[in-house]
Amino acid sequence: MKLELRGITKRFGSFTANDSIDLVVEPGEIHSLLGENGAGKSTLMNVLYGLLQPDEGQVVIDGERVHFDGPGDAVAAGIGMVHQHFMLVPVFTVAENVMLGYEYTKGGQFLDHAAARQQVRRLSERFGFDVDPDALVEDIPVGVQQRVEIIKALARDAKVLILDEPTAVLTPQETDELIAIMRELKQSGTSIVFITHKLREVRAVADRITVIRRGKVVGTADPGTSEAELASMMVGRTVQLTVDKQPFAPKGEVLQVEDLSVRDDLGRTVVDGVSLDVRGGEIVAIAGVQGNGQTELVEAIVGLGEDISGSIRLQGKQILGLNAKEIIDLGVGYVPEDRSHDGLIESFTVAENLVLSQHDRAPFGSGLLYHPAKVKARANELVGEFDVRTQGVEATAGSLSGGNQQKVVVAREMSRPLKLFVASQPTRGVDVGSIEFLHNRIVAERDHGSAVLLVSTELDEVLALADRIAVMYRGRVVGVVDGDTPRDVLGLMMAGVPEQDARRQAAEQGPTALTVQDEEARQ
């Protein structure tokens, strides 16, 4: 099946998310759609999948123009999609999820579970998935959930499979497995649209690459194109991911974490005996695939965790057991990973957000009294200092772009004297210009003598900023290594391989599918 998008334009109000995009997916090819966050990839795919109606342009299948009123039409036309956030009903079984909307019935309306089970078994055997049709989706790991999504698409006879950022939640090894699955699907004649912003994966698996930026196609490339070239197509200028920074000059111990364990509200151990220390004037980055305990570790440190054992000391003082407020008052700044959920109140003004944690401290509040004029004056200073692009400090935070929202959070946290600065995914969903600004501020904070703990799932960011790197896997710290450790060693450690073994394996095996390009990039 040949799929073409011709001149697709999609506007939201005065904002154009897709600007006359053309895209051709040949039968049996893996076509990668590469672009930054916010470039318009997901919007385009939602148009293709019938979730959004384009304002202009058309979808053409095998030379015939088609019109999708909803996803049902797209599915009927042979298009399947694995969404970035899985579209599975957690309280349903795998079989129920697979048949939803495409039910097997007997006696008219009654569900035929046996047939659904059979279908799941057949497809998972064919592609070597180990999926139990009767397991509840909420009980199975993320990697398996992704396979359920793929089965769901295949059960509907998908000829074109759209994978939206499928590797965001996978370890490098699981990513390799997914790449194998993609190749197998391609062998059996399924075309794949692979949406990502990860350059290495694109080069490892794609037959063709289309790069989009700010809603427009900026070019196509073949997998041989160098990473640097792809990156500059993607962001529109030569990117410099390395930040200029002075060699680090650590002072005394600031944060000492010893034998820390955290259990989640379901009683599972998510952080398992972690020990870690961060000195003043140094950036320690925690690397790892999303969901390996980084979030919970950080929340424990800033006083937001619940079921915690072990020890956390700040300049020798035990802070485990203190609440968030007390820890903030001790001089700990925190940028949470999910900005709009935990970092900001979108319906509050920029000014109010800038004092969220300080509103009852002088000069903004005294006792029960709150002083809006002082809040506003301070906000005007900070907006200037941190280059927050806003209509004014009385504008709501929700009206700002992602990068500017993040600057508000960072400005708030850095606007008071800090001993420890903790930043989780500080540049996620942020435009390139703001990334550079934020990176520079983080380095400045380090140079100022603060201890900085950075959590990032982006190896590029980790390698650009870290003085030391702690790699987490399944709640444990696999090892703490220097900031200039090779990428392939870190990749193996992120999959749970201890440092020594990782270094040996990396040397023995030579470059893997993913790291080979890393070498090229260095040359």
Partner 1 sequence: MSVTTDRIPEKTPDAPGEPTSATRRRGWAGDVLITVLSIVLALVVGAVLIAVADPRVQETASYFFARPLDMLQAAGSSVANAYAALFKGAIFDYGAETTTAAIRPITESLVFASPLVVAGLAVGLAFRAGLFNIGAEGQIILGAIGAAYVGFAWELPLVVHMVLALVAAMLLGGLWAGIAGFLKARTGAHEVITTIMLNYIARFLLAFLLSTTAFQRPGRNDPISPQVDSTAMLPQMLGSWSRLHLGLLVAIAAGFGVWWLLNRSTLGFKLRAVGANPFASRTAGIDVGWSTFAAMAIAGSLAGLAGAFQIIGTERSLTGGVSAGIGFDAITVALLGRGNPFGIVLAGFLFGALKAGGVTMQARTGTPIDLVFVVQSLIVLFIAAPPLVRAIFRIRAQGAGSMQVSKGWNA
Partner 2 sequence: MSTATRERLPESSTIQQGPLRKPPTWKSPIIMGVLGVVALLAFGLASNAGDTSTFGMSTGAQRLQIPALVLPTRPAAIVLSVLCLVLAAVAAAAVRVKRPVPLAVPIGFAALWLLAFLVWSMAGEQVPLPGLLGGTLLLSVPLVFGALSGVLCERSGVINIAIEGQLLAGAFASALMASVTDSLWIGLVMAPVAGLLVAVLLAMFTIKYVVDQIIVGVVLNVLVVGLTGFLYGRVLVQNADVFNQPGTFSRIPIPGLIEIPVLGPALFNQTIIVYLMYVAVIVTQVALFRTKWGLRVRAVGEHPKAADTVGIKVNRIRVQNVLLGGVVAGFGGAFFTLGSVGAFGREMTAGQGFIALAAMIFGRWSPVGALFAALLFGFANQLQGTLGALGSPIPSEFMLMAPYLATIFAVAGVVGRVRAPAADGQPYTKA
Q: Which residues bind partner 2 (CB under 8 A)?
A: 12, 46, 49, 51-52, 70-73, 75-76, 81, 83-92, 96-97, 99-103, 105, 109-111, 138-139, 141-143, 152, 168-169, 171, 264-268, 270, 289-293, 295, 304, 337-338, 341, 474-475
Q: What is the dihedral of CA 401, 283, 197, 271, to 10 degrees?
A: -100
Nearer to partner 2, 244 or 265 (CB): 265
Least Å distance, CB 245 to partner 1, is: 20
Is the separation of the CB atoms in 25 and 31 below 8 Å?
A: yes
Nearer to partner 2, 264 or 360 (CB): 264
Nearer to partner 2, 42 or 349 (CB): 42
Nearer to partner 1, 215 or 496 (CB): 215
Binds 334, which of partner 1, partner 2, none (CB < 5 to 8 A, cut-off by type)? partner 1
Nearer to partner 2, 167 or 349 (CB): 167
Least Å distance, CB 111 to partner 2, is: 6
The structure tokens listed for 288 are 């790892």
Binds 110, which of partner 2, partner 1, none (CB < 5 to 8 A, cut-off by type)? partner 2
Least Å distance, CB 372 to partner 1, is: 7
Binds 491, which of partner 1, partner 2, none (CB < 5 to 8 A, cut-off by type)? none
Amino acid at 232: S
Least Å distance, CB 154 to partner 1, is: 24
For residue 293, the SS3 value is: coil
Is the separation of the CB atoms in 443 and 284 below 8 Å?
A: no
φ and ψ at residue 34, rounded to 5 degrees: -110, 135
Least Å distance, CB 1 to partner 2, is: 19
Binds 24, which of partner 1, partner 2, none (CB < 5 to 8 A, cut-off by type)? none
Residue 87, C-beta contacts closer than 8 angstroms, at least 6 positions apart: 149
Binds 317, which of partner 1, partner 2, none (CB < 5 to 8 A, cut-off by type)? none
| Burial class for 153, CB neighbours closer than 10 Å (0-12, 13-18, 19+) | buried
Nearer to partner 1, 152 or 339 (CB): 339
Nearer to partner 1, 126 or 325 (CB): 325
Q: Is the peptide bond before 363 cis (omega within 30 degrees of 0)?
A: yes
Q: What angle do CA 69, 73, 74 make, to 5 degrees?
A: 105
Least Å distance, CB 89 to partner 1, is: 15
Binds 49, which of partner 2, partner 1, none (CB < 5 to 8 A, cut-off by type)? partner 2
d(CA 280, CA 339): 26
Nearer to partner 1, 367 or 417 (CB): 367
d(CA 254, CA 438): 22
Distances (CA, A) of 175 to 20, 53, 85, 149: 32, 32, 17, 15
Least Å distance, CB 425 to partner 1, is: 8
d(CA 470, CA 490): 10
Nearer to partner 1, 19 or 207 (CB): 19
Least Å distance, CB 332 to partner 2, is: 18
CA nearest 355: which of 328, 375, 382? 375
Binds 362, which of partner 1, partner 2, none (CB < 5 to 8 A, cut-off by type)? none
Q: What is the 3-state secondary structure (H, E, C) of 96-146?
A: HHHHCCCCCEECCCEECHHHHHHHHHHHHHHCCCCCCCCCEHHHCCHHHHH
In the block, tokens 């960011």 appear at 461
Name beta bridge partners: 209. Answer: 32, 221
Nearer to partner 2, 84 or 226 (CB): 84
Least Å distance, CB 470 to partner 2, is: 18
Is the separation of the CB atoms in 161 and 185 below 8 Å?
A: yes
Least Å distance, CB 134 to partner 2, is: 14
Q: What angle do CA 139, 425, 321 make, to 5 degrees?
A: 75
Binds 143, which of partner 1, partner 2, none (CB < 5 to 8 A, cut-off by type)? partner 2
Least Å distance, CB 425 to partner 2, is: 10
Binds 72, which of partner 2, partner 1, none (CB < 5 to 8 A, cut-off by type)? partner 2
Binds 292, which of partner 1, partner 2, none (CB < 5 to 8 A, cut-off by type)? partner 2
In the block, tokens 């140079």 appear at 447
Is the separation of the CB atoms in 441 and 430 below 8 Å?
A: no
Binds 352, which of partner 2, partner 1, none (CB < 5 to 8 A, cut-off by type)? partner 1
Nearer to partner 2, 253 or 346 (CB): 346
Is the separation of the CB atoms in 179 and 200 below 8 Å?
A: no
